[in-house]
Chain A
Amino acid sequence: AQKVTQAQTEISVVEKEDVTLDCVYETRDTTYYLFWYKQPPSGELVFLIRRNSFDEQNEISGRYSWNFQKSTSSFNFTITASQVVDSAVYFCALSEAKTETSGSRLTFGEGTQLTVNP
């Protein structure tokens, strides 16, 4: 069975601070995908990144960066120089890498509520 754990329920920072959101996952599959989604107060989940299990290179996109470590089953997300607009719930998710006839059932963590104060 797949499981995603986001141990940090809530994080509060002051604007311009760096913040790291932790994600630990469990799966028996050797091939899988990891995702981060952002859910602002409006409620719509917004895709941020996808990483497959064969690609352990870290990725940077503007103020966002992701650290994938297969050895510790972690896929952490760092926001550099946080801004008030970053305030949202962030979800880490896991998907098996299935065949062409199968769908992409995502297993989500419980989310981390990030509040960035001015």
Chain B
Amino acid sequence: DTGVSQNPRHKITKRGQNVTFRCDPISEHNRLYWYRQTLGQGPEFLTYFQNEAQLEKSRLLSDRFSAERPKGSFSTLEIQRTEQGDSAMYLCASSPLWGAGSGANVLTFGAGSRLTVL
């Protein structure tokens, strides 16, 4: 298992453009999370999937943000009409289902996708 993979690692875009990030979780993990991290801050929760169902969304996830996990495997996070305030590191994490042993609520993170909006 190669861990959680995120692409692209870096994205520079102009304000108003749309961007999409992809996350490939650990294959046997049913749960997938998106977090956002700005410089000098801790990660902040955005949304969470259990298989293909999006079960929780933070109020940080404005209408310009949409996340999908169509087949319960990889996930995409799209930001429409980007703003300079969207510049951040977008982190994806995955975990096994609750009750799946000692690792149930331990999140494994990817290396992140850094977005710079000019």
Contacts and interface: CB of A to CB of B under 8 A. Distances in A.
A110 B111 contact: no
A43 interface: yes
A105 B109 contact: no
Contacts, number: 73
Contacts of B111: 42-44
What is the predominant secondary structure among interface residues of chain A facing chain B?
loop
A104 B49 CA distance: 11
Nearest to B58: A105
Interface in B97-116: 97-99, 104-112, 114
A47 B108 contact: yes
Interface size class on chain B is: 20 to 34
A37 B56 CA distance: 23
Interface stretch (B15-23, B38-46, B64-72, B73-81): B38-46
A110 B41 contact: yes
A106 B108 contact: no
A44 B37 CA distance: 12
Interface size class on chain A is: 20 to 34
A75 interface: no
Contact of B48 (A35, A99, A105, A109): A105
B109 A44 contact: yes
A105 B42 CA distance: 13
B27 to A, nearest CB: 18
A101 to B, nearest CB: 7
B42 A47 contact: no
Interface of A: 4, 33, 35, 37, 42-47, 50, 91, 93, 95, 97-111
